[in-house]
Amino acid sequence: MKSALFVDFDNVYSGLRKLDQAIADRFARQPLEWMNWVVQSLELPDHVPEDARRRVLVRRCYLNPQAYQRFRPSFNLAGFEIIDCPALTGEGKTSTDIHMVLDIIDLLQHETRYDEFIVFSADADFTPVLRKLRRWDRRTTVLAIGFPSAAYRASADLLIDQDDFVRSALGFKDEEEVPKPESAASSPSKEPDDPELANSARRLVEQAVAESSAPVPLAKLAARILSSVGDMDASTWAGYGSFRGLLESWSLAPLKITTSGGGTIYDPRRHSPPAVSTVAPSRSPDKELHDIVDLIRQEVARSSSSIPCSRLASLVTTQHGTIAADWNGKGTFRKFVEALDLTPLEFDWASSGGVLRDPHRHAASSGRSIKPINGNAAQWTDDQDLLPIACQIHEVSSVPLLSPKDYRGLFRIIEQDVREHPFDLKETGKRVRDRLREGGHGGSRLDVNWVLRGLLMRGHTFGKGEDDAKSLSLKTANNVRSLCLREQMVLDKTMEGAITRWFSGQM
């Protein structure tokens, strides 16, 4: 697959710098490292041949030489063409956007057909370009640091997760990552979205095997993890895509895993290897896929609203452990279900985790059931009237759907933590998440990071005397207002009052 890469250096570097200066500097000084990741490890966008491999034939970096000349040698060594885009106004505005657009259109009509256009920028001005590329049947991959608009995200075939880019491409590893098996050391592997979540699942696996007098079926174990481990999602499995992928990320020796008959895990020091005759015969793959399609259709038929894909993934995992172990060779739940014939049911992946709906019975996004996605539903008891508006804002801005009580607890914990420790995005996020759980509040690591990143992207500097809970809540509310306005959401008095009450009420 022939690809062309366009890097809006000023945009990406300034976005990363707001999060962490060290991350921004590594991006600027080691482009060869993350370029190797793009070529060798970054997944391909949808609808490309299965055996396709990415070849980045064009590499262009657009930067302001007046501000970032010191980074030019690094990009030269990584094989980039460097396009100088000096400031043209007193405010520092450059011509990067127009240069990138003209170059993209030029390559679109080039005699060499470029199959994929990779854009590193969060600038929503490129949305029309992405749509034009789609009309011309070209694939688009985007890296956007910060909070890209919904239109921009939807116009790209593949959106590079910024956490994955920082962790995998730039090499900022999380110390809590679980060890990888030696057999997988030579091949690219996924990193956990939440290392503590993966570690909790591992402890449960080891405990279940230790307490069992016989080999433990993998399907039973997967169901137990989903019901017992807080935020575990069967559609992602802590970032590994499948339960089998999560298991294979651990070095469980001396425990052993079998794959026949749905699979088991056992301790050879205490358990006899499972005999083939004792394992229930597996159904034919075609029959099992047919049963899964029926299961999904029945679940949709019973529901009065769209169904979260995480719920569907849990159902399939519980009842069809063999298929769910690696999603029938597809690797992820999304690719697995998109390969099934579920017509006329429709998937909507725009919301967190995605939903499945019957277009003849279920309304689109505005008609989805009103239910908190993260946190404790009971926390909304005193704010049920606010919940419909909060759900609407959540779908537009992606702000975590935590209750007002949870947000008040979150901002107080952030204030306390910053008072006790120097701010560091990764470490602060861990401590705040742990204290949220200890205090009985809802909120995952991703929710905490969303709030912290929002504050940083809005220009907040921790440690400068404005870290009290009230100030943080007001700045978060203003960030959400800006995101809503960017998505052309009308903020009348009712909406303004709801945002204020959601984040700052009784603070």
Residue 439 within any structural domain of the chain: yes
In the listed set 109, 137, 169, which residue is the last one of a domain according to the structure?
169
How far apart CA 75 and CA 84 sit, in angstroms, is 13
Residue 360 within any structural domain of the chain: no
Which class for 376: exposed (0-12), middle (13-18), buried (19 or more C-beta within 10 A)? middle
pLDDT at 454: 92
Q: Are residues 424 and 485 in the same domain?
A: yes
Q: Are residues 125 and 190 in the same domain?
A: no
Q: Are residues 197 and 72 in the same domain?
A: no
Domain containing residue 142: CATH number: 3.40.50.1010
Q: Are residues 97 and 75 in the same domain?
A: yes
pLDDT at 230: 64
Q: What is the CA radius of gyration of the chain?
A: 24
pLDDT at 325: 64
Q: Are residues 34 and 86 in the same domain?
A: yes
**Cβ partners under 8 Å of residue 147, min gap 6:** 122, 397, 398, 453, 454, 457, 483
Q: Are residues 224 and 282 in the same domain?
A: yes
Sole residue written with tokens 């802590």: 238
Q: Are residues 190 and 337 in the same domain?
A: yes
CB atoms closer than 10 angstroms to residue 189? 15
Q: Are 458 and 479 in contact (CB under 8 A)?
A: yes
Q: Are residues 233 and 258 in the same domain?
A: yes
Three-state SS string across 145-187, please? CCCCCHHHHHHCCEEECHHHHHHHHCCCCCCCCCCCCHHHCCC
Residue 156 within any structural domain of the chain: yes
Q: Are residues 102 and 203 in the same domain?
A: no
Q: Are residues 124 and 188 in the same domain?
A: no
Structural domain harbouring 314 = 179-344
Report which of 463, 416, 466 is spatially closest to residue 439, judged by C-alpha positions.
416
Residue 370 within any structural domain of the chain: no
Residue 359 within any structural domain of the chain: no
Domains in the chain, number: 3
Q: Enter the pTM of the model.
A: 0.59
How far apart CA 475 and CA 465 sit, in angstroms, is 14
Sole residue written with tokens 């009985």: 440
Residue 151 within any structural domain of the chain: yes
Q: Are residues 165 and 192 in the same domain?
A: no
Q: Are residues 186 and 150 in the same domain?
A: no
Residue 111: strand, helix, or coil: coil
Residue 262 within any structural domain of the chain: yes
pLDDT at 142: 94
Q: Are 144 and 159 in contact (CB under 8 A)?
A: yes
Residue 353 within any structural domain of the chain: no
b/e per residue 77-101 (b: at least 16 CB within 10 A): ebebebbebeeeeeeeebbbbebbb
Kindly give the confidence (pLDDT) of every residue in the chain, 507 residues in length, as a single tens digit, with 9 standing for 90 and above: 999 999 999 999 999 998 888 899 999 999 999 999 999 888 888 777 777 889 999 999 999 998 898 899 899 989 999 999 988 876 677 889 999 999 999 999 899 999 999 999 988 888 999 999 999 999 999 999 988 888 888 889 988 988 889 888 998 765 443 333 333 333 344 455 567 777 888 888 888 888 888 888 877 787 777 777 766 766 677 777 677 777 777 777 788 887 665 678 888 888 887 765 444 444 566 788 888 888 899 888 887 777 877 778 777 877 776 676 667 777 677 788 888 888 888 887 655 557 788 888 776 544 344 455 444 555 677 788 888 888 888 877 888 888 898 999 999 999 999 999 999 888 898 899 888 888 888 788 888 989 999 999 888 999 888 899 999 999 999 999 998 888 778 888 888 888 999 998 765
